[in-house]
Amino acid sequence: MTDKDQFFMREAWEYDPGAKPKPAPDAHLGFNTRALHTGFDPLKSVKDFRSFVPPITQSMTYPYERFEEIPYPVYGRTQTPTTAVLEERLAALEGGEACVTAGSGSQALFDLIFTLTRPGDNVVTSLNIYGEGYKQATAIFPERCGVDFHFVDDPADPASWDAAIDDKTKLVWVETPSNPCLFVTDIAAVADVAHAKGVPLLVDNTTATAALQKPIALGADMVLLSITKFLCGNASVLGGAVVGPEALVEDVRWNTTEFVGAVLQPFEAWLTLQFLETLSLRMERHSANAQRVAEFLAGHPRVEHVNYPGLVGHPQHELAQRQMRAGGGMLSFVAPGGMAGAGAVIDRFQLITHAVTFGTSRTICMHPPTITHEHMTPEERAKAGIDDGLIRLSVGLEDPDDLITDLDQALSG
Ligand SMILES: *Cc1c(COP(=O)(O)O)cnc(C)c1O
């Protein structure tokens, strides 16, 4: 043991392609039952709380009963009783062994990559990733940690992923469907390519959620989640999570999160538990509404292009149908007249709010080229399909006719 090693509470996780994952908590129960029950049994709480709802334990330290016995959790940076319920439930919904939460989705991504890589290593991904992920990949990790990111040339072609992996690759990272252009990557095909080279696969499941897509069942080793989006569902929580093998999750928790903090707080975990109870109902309605809105936009004379995996014309429509239960609640479309044209449409919306997020119960829109993906070069934006006139639309739970009326007047204006 070197002097430095003794700081770390757990051994570093090592990817073992032959390891058999343990079944997710409550794997024998259906998705909706897990969304309501996993991690908290009201009967077992009778003695302490008499609570039907998982309680918010707003305590950041946990008393020792005896000097030699370290309590678990010991301090709020490791875990809190309320986040423990949420972590067990998210693992169960994604079908993974375990879960560690973080103060945001971006923090969860950072904690994971920081845990898995050392200077000289690299991560393979594509340009179809969300804005802060791109900033971590092009600025923070290369400049400050000596970890490089390879962007594959053609994310639709498994051979392109294969070509980008070398002997210093520690992770392959896929976001599907991607934010903001809804590019759909073949999870099973990329998993095969990564595993053949002994590299684990991370899938960002933020856009689809486990209600619509099961990356681990398709071959991914770990899942990244922004709780801030559909999991919460109304932009009242900032949070994130990593689901994956227990040894990896505990490596992240004990060797990064525990030293750094930036954890999800009990109240946010509690709110998320309430919202998860309706996740599959919401995702079904978001998808049905988005499908109607996408079809309306695709037929509108003033719309140049629509990105939505549920549209027959989407380049990966068939793959999306195989890989997802429905198209999801997010789409993007290109308004005529470039940036100024998009701005004029956005300013004419009356019901639809312009703000930075998605996955909200109320419909929300945003202009990716100037707000989230402004750090990409114009060439990279073109390659990723981020046109100057692109508007991202997160279709909410309103009556779709009202959304169509608002879109029509804003486009025609
Ligand atoms: C927003 C987002 C994240 C990051 O989540 P935050 O909670 O906002 O940090 C990660 N992945 C995707 C696909 C996202 O859209």
pLDDT at 87 over 60: yes
Distance CA 143, CA 149 (A): 11
| Low-confidence winner among 285-294, 313-322, 379-388, 399-408 (lowest mean pLDDT) | 379-388
Helix axes 266-276, 81-94, angle to 10 degrees: 40
- Average pLDDT (111-126) is 98
Q: What is the pLDDT of residue 46?
A: 66
Phi, psi of 394 (to 5 degrees): -100, 110
**Given 15, 130, 134, 308, the catalytic residue:** 130
- Average pLDDT (274-292) is 98
pLDDT at 1 over 60: no
The minimum-distance atom of ligand 1 relative to the CA of 108 is: 9
CA quadruple 337, 339, 208, 194: dihedral positive or negative?
A: positive
Asked about 214 being catalytic, the answer comes back as no
For the chain, the average pLDDT equals: 95
State the pairing for strand pair 240-244/122-125: unpaired
pLDDT tens across 101-114, in order?
A: 999 999 999 999 99
Q: Which two tokens stand for residue 226?
A: 């922004």
Q: How many CA atoms lie within 13 A of 274 on its CB side?
A: 12
Closest CA to 202 of 228, 169, 235: 169
Termini Cα distance of the chain:
69
pTM of the model: 0.96
How many whole angstroms from 288 Cα to the centroid of ligand 1? 23
Give the type of residue at 51: S
| Low-confidence winner among 12-21, 116-125, 132-141, 142-151 (lowest mean pLDDT) | 12-21
Asked about 347 being catalytic, the answer comes back as no
Q: What is the pLDDT of residue 376?
A: 93
How many whole angstroms from 111 Cα to the centroid of ligand 1? 14
DSSP H or E run through 225: strand 222-226
Q: Is the CB of 240 under 6 A from ligand 1?
A: yes
| Low-confidence winner among 70-74, 215-219, 298-302, 391-395 (lowest mean pLDDT) | 70-74
Tokens 């999800």, located at residue: 264
pLDDT tens across 151-207, in order?
A: 999 999 999 999 999 999 999 999 999 999 999 999 999 999 999 999 999 999 999
Distance CA 307, CA 330 (A): 9
Q: Which two tokens stand for residue 151?
A: 């962007």
Tokens 């419909």, located at residue: 363
Q: Is the CB of 226 under 6 A from ligand 1?
A: yes
Helix axes 400-412, 279-298, angle to 10 degrees: 40
Report the DSSP beta bridge partners of residue 203: 174, 223
- Grade residue 2 by pLDDT with cuts at 50, 70 and 90: low
Whether 172 contacts 199, CB under 8 Å: yes
Asked about 10 being catalytic, the answer comes back as no
Helix axes 400-412, 338-348, angle to 10 degrees: 130
Tokens 């999801």, located at residue: 328
Pick the CATH number of 279-412 from 3.90.1150.10, 3.40.50.150, 3.40.50.10860, 3.90.226.10: 3.90.1150.10
- Grade residue 3 by pLDDT with cuts at 50, 70 and 90: low
**Long-range contacts, stretch 291-299, CB < 8 angstroms, 24+ apart:** 291/326, 291/327, 292/400, 292/404, 293/331, 293/393, 293/395, 293/400, 293/403, 293/404, 293/407, 294/327, 294/331, 296/404, 296/407, 296/408, 297/331, 297/333, 297/407
Measuring from atom 6 of ligand 1, which residue has the nearest CA? 105
pLDDT at 389 over 90: yes
Q: What is the pLDDT of residue 44?
A: 83
Closest CA to 182 of 91, 287, 90, 338: 287
Report the DSSP beta bridge partners of residue 222: 202
Q: What is the pLDDT of residue 4?
A: 67
Omega before 177 within 30 of 0, i.e. cis: yes
Asked about 251 being catalytic, the answer comes back as no
Q: What CATH number should be reported for the domain whose range is 3-276?
A: 3.40.640.10
In the chain, where the domains are located: 3-276, 279-412
Q: What is the pLDDT of residue 121?
A: 98
pLDDT tens across 195-248, in order?
A: 999 999 999 999 999 999 999 999 999 999 999 999 999 999 999 999 999 999
Closest CA to 63 of 74, 50, 49: 74
